[in-house]
Structure 1
Amino acid sequence: MELGLQDKSVFVAAASKGLGRASALEFAREGARVTIASRNIEQLQEAQQEIASATGVTVDIVQMDVNDATQIQSAIAQVIERTSRLDVLVTNAGGPPGGTFTDMEDEHWQQAFEQNLLSTIRLIRAALPALQSDGGGRIVNIASSSVKQPIDGLILSNVFRAGIQALTKTLSSEYGHKGILINTVAPGRIATDRILELDSKRAADQQISVEQLQAQATAQIPLGRMGTPEEFARMVVFYGSFANTYVTGQSLIVDGGTIRAL
C-alpha cells in the first residue's frame, strides 16, 4: 500500500525513545521528512543516529519540553522554517506517575494536566495553520488504552488520556471540512521503558518479582505476549498517512485484544 508520505513533513513529539522514536523510525522508512523533539538533547542525538543507521535517512532534531508553551511554539516554527510546510503532527508525552486518588496532591494533578493534556492542546494549536495550508493534514495523538478502560493505579493517566480522546473527537468535527484528519492511537502493554518502570513499582508494592508480575499481566492478553514498539508505530504511521482518507475522530487500541470494551 502506498501511504503517500514521501517527502511529507512530519513532526513527532517526545521521540527520543519509546513509542515516539519507533513512530519516527517508521515515518522515515516511508520517505517522510521527519523532525523529532525531546527535552533531552543527548537522547535526541542518539535517536537521530539510530534512525539514520536503520534507514539511511537523517531526521531533524529540535529540543523541546512539552511543558513549555514557548518551546512548543518555537519547535513547530523551526519545522516549518526547515521544510516550508507541516503535513503530519504526532503528539506524545511521557506518562504521569502511577498512584491512586489519595496519593495525589494538587501539584500532581497540575503537572499531569500540563504534561499530558495541555501539551497536546498546545501542539495542535501551534500546528493547525500549517496543517490547513495545503488542503489538510493528519494529527495522531498517542495516548493510552485507558481512553477506553481505566487502569488500576494510574488515576492521572486515566483522567487526562481520556481528555485527549475527547479533544480528538471534538476537533475531528471542527476541522474535518478543512481536510484535517485526527485520531488517537492508544497502546496497551507495549515493551517500553515506561511499562518496565510501572511493572517494577507494582511488583514492589505486591512483594513479588517483576517477572512474576509480567507473567500474570501477559496471561490477560489474548495474543499471549506484549506488543513491540514497531507494531504500535505501524498503526501510528497509517493513521498519520495519506492512505488514510476517511477515518477521523477515532481511538485505536493497540493492545493484543486486552481491552474488553465494545
Structure 2
Amino acid sequence: MLHELKNINALVCGGSKGIGLASAIKLAHMGANVFLLSRSIEKLAMATEKLPVVHSQQKHGYIAIDLSDTEKVKQHIKPLLQEKNISILVNNSGGPEAGPIFQAEPEAFLRAFQQHILSSHLLTQSIIPGMKKSQYGRIINIISTSVKIPLKGLGVSNTIRGAMANWSKTLAGELAPFGITVNNVLPGATATERLEEIIQNKSKKTLKDKSEVVEEMENEIPMGRFGKPEEIAAAVGFLASHEASYITGINLPVDGGRTGSL
C-alpha cells in the first residue's frame, strides 16, 4: 500500500502520542499528507518530526486545540479544515475518567460527551462537504471494545463509547451514497499511557502490585499480551485504504481475542 494515499490529506485527532501517533505514522507511510490535532503545541511539534516522508510532494503539519472546547472548534477549526480538503478523518481522544458509573457526577458525562461525541461531530461536519464533492472519504473512529461488552470500572467511558458507536453507525448509512465510509476500530488493552493509568488505579483499589495486575489482565486475553499501538494503526490503515471501499458501518475489535461477543 506504499504511496496509495498520495495527494490525500488526513487529519488524526489525539495524534501526538499512543494510538493516534501510530495511526498517523501508518497513514504517512501510505503516502498521505498528515495533520495532527491535539492540545500541546510542543508535543505536536515533536510528533510531527516522527512522521515519515515517502515522496517528494508529501507535507505534514499540526493543529493545536483542546477538543473539549466546542466553541473553539466551531470558531477556529471548522473553517480551517474546510480549506485543507480533508479526505481521511481519524477521530480519537483520551478516555473519560475511570470509576463506577453510580459514583459518576453529571459533569463527568457532560465533559466526556463534549470531548468525544460533540468534537467528532463538529469535525465531521466540517469535512463532509469536501468529501461529498469528491465522492470519496474515510471517517475512522477509535473507540473501545466496551462498545460490545462494558468494561468494569469504566462507567462513563462505557456510556459514551456506546453513544459514539451509534452516532457512527447512523452516519455510515447517511454518507454511504456519497462514497464515504464510516467505521470504528475497537482497541482492546493496548500499551499506552491510558492503559498505565488503568493498571495503576486497579493496583491502588485492590492493593496488588502492578505486576500482579498486569498478569491478571493479560491472562484475560487469549493471545496472552497487551496490544501495540502499531497493531491498532494497521487496522486504521486498512480501513483508510482503497481496498476497504466496500466496508462501512462496522465495529472492528483489535483486542487479541478478548471480547467474548460475536
State the TM-score, normalized to the length of structure 1.
0.93
1:71 & 1:254 partners in 2: Cα distance?
Answer: 33
Note the residue ranges of structure 2 that are not aligned, 5 or more in a row. none
| Amino acid paired to 2:67 | V
> Superposition pairs for residues 109-124 of structure 1, below 5 Å?
109-124=109-124
| Amino acid paired to 1:201 | N
Secondary structure of the residue aligned to 1:51 is coil
* Structure 2 residue 75 is matched with structure 1 residue 77: no
Secondary structure of the residue aligned to 1:191 is coil
Secondary structure of the residue aligned to 1:225 is coil
| Amino acid paired to 2:173 | S
1:70-121 CA-to-partner distances (Å, cap 9, x unmatched) read 433433533443x4x2211111111110001232111111111111222222
2:247 counterpart residue number: 247
Structure 1 stretches (4+) deviating beyond 3 angstroms? 1-4, 52-58
Secondary structure of the residue aligned to 1:214 is helix
1:171 counterpart residue number: 171
2:54 & 2:190 partners in 1: Cα distance?
Answer: 21
2:97 counterpart residue number: 97
| Amino acid paired to 2:61 | D
Percent identity, aligned pairs only?
Answer: 34
| Amino acid paired to 1:115 | Q
CA shift in 2, pair 1:218/1:53, >3 Å: farther
CA shift in 2, pair 1:145/1:54, >3 Å: farther
1:75 & 1:25 partners in 2: Cα distance?
Answer: 22
1:121-162 CA-to-partner distances (Å, cap 9, x unmatched) read 222112211221211211001101101110000011101111
Contact preservation (8 Å) 1:51, 1:58:
no
1:56-79 CA-to-partner distances (Å, cap 9, x unmatched) read 965201112111234334335334
Contact preservation (8 Å) 1:101, 1:155:
yes
Aligned residues: 260
Note the residue ranges of structure 1 that are not aligned, 5 or more in a row. none
1:60 counterpart residue number: 61
Contact preservation (8 Å) 2:2, 2:30:
no
2:67 & 2:180 partners in 1: Cα distance?
Answer: 22
Contact preservation (8 Å) 2:35, 2:61:
yes
CA shift in 2, pair 1:45/1:140, >3 Å: same
2:107 & 2:191 partners in 1: Cα distance?
Answer: 29
Contact preservation (8 Å) 2:12, 2:91:
yes
Contact preservation (8 Å) 1:4, 1:243:
no
Contact preservation (8 Å) 1:24, 1:34:
yes
CA shift in 2, pair 1:52/1:246, >3 Å: closer
1:196-253 CA-to-partner distances (Å, cap 9, x unmatched) read 0111011110001111101110011111111100011010111122221111000001
1:77 & 1:60 partners in 2: Cα distance?
Answer: 16
> Superposition pairs for residues 124-135 of structure 1, below 5 Å?
124-135=124-135
Q: Which moved more, 1:47-56 or 1:246-255?
A: 47-56
Contact preservation (8 Å) 1:143, 1:185:
yes
Secondary structure of the residue aligned to 1:62 is strand
Secondary structure of the residue aligned to 1:34 is strand
1:47 counterpart residue number: 47
CA shift in 2, pair 1:150/1:208, >3 Å: same
Secondary structure of the residue aligned to 2:86 is coil
Contact preservation (8 Å) 2:188, 2:254:
yes
Secondary structure of the residue aligned to 1:186 is strand
